Structure 1
Amino acid sequence: MPPTGTTRTWFCLRRTFVLLLLVLLLCVVVYPFLLYFLLCLKEQQDEEEAAPTDTDNNNNENNENNENNEEVAQTDAPTDANSNNDEEEVAPTDAPTDARKDAPKAATSLAPGTPCEFHIYSDESALGAEDCKSTGPPNAELIPAGSQLREP
């Protein structure tokens, strides 16, 4: 005996209902776990990139030693024997200097397309901004990713 119209209708409705349940299960259970897994994977990659390496630590120590040597050279500079003692000598002060202005341009210029980190300063200056492919806040100094940060 051939199936009647009501039997065929119930079969189609049941099949549609099962497909809808599978789609709902996919959206509610599988998709969030997939997103969570991808998010954890991205965080792990970010942590690996942010972790300093041994060579970075050595470079930081060398830069600190160079800065200390420069300070000693400034304080040990001989005075001019022909200077007039009646005039006041201008002694170096402990006033903070803008390290970004003292730094040579070669240290801040970047190759086009170099990834940059943004370090925001109050004077709204941006060294190397024309060389950096990234976009950022207008008052950011662009420094190559992974380089030693300078104090403002």
Structure 2
Amino acid sequence: MQDNLATLQTVFVGVAITSLAVSALGLLNIGLASLAERARELVIRRALGARRIHTFVQVIGSSLILAVWVAAVATAICLAAIYWGVPHWLPEHSPVTAPSVPWEALVVGLAASAATAVLGSVFPAWKATRLPVADALRQ
């Protein structure tokens, strides 16, 4: 039984890592598309005195804030399901009890969400710092 559980856990970790990698690639593509739309805004900020690090932090920060917000909503849904949903779904005299909140899993999920957001937005943020200020202002 322990061997089967260890194998299943390894498979789930592999699937989770693959899903996070695909998510990071999706965030990378969305970040590059967003960069194309926001290029003028970012260049104007640079022309008005914003340093490259400020642009980098702005792009990474917006992605990180969105990721943490989505993780918080997912956590709220999980808590609602555990505290409200599961007790209503179980029969009245069921020997099965409602599960406890997996706090460690929630923290790991939040960390994975934040790490994926940062990994997926590093390249667009770096590219945003390299936008040519003079060329964009001429347009």
**Higher helix proportion:** 2
User: TM-score, structure 2 length as denominator?
Assistant: 0.40
**Higher strand proportion:** 1
- Say which structure, 1 or 2, has more relative contact order (CA 8 Å, 6+ apart): 2
Larger radius of gyration: 1
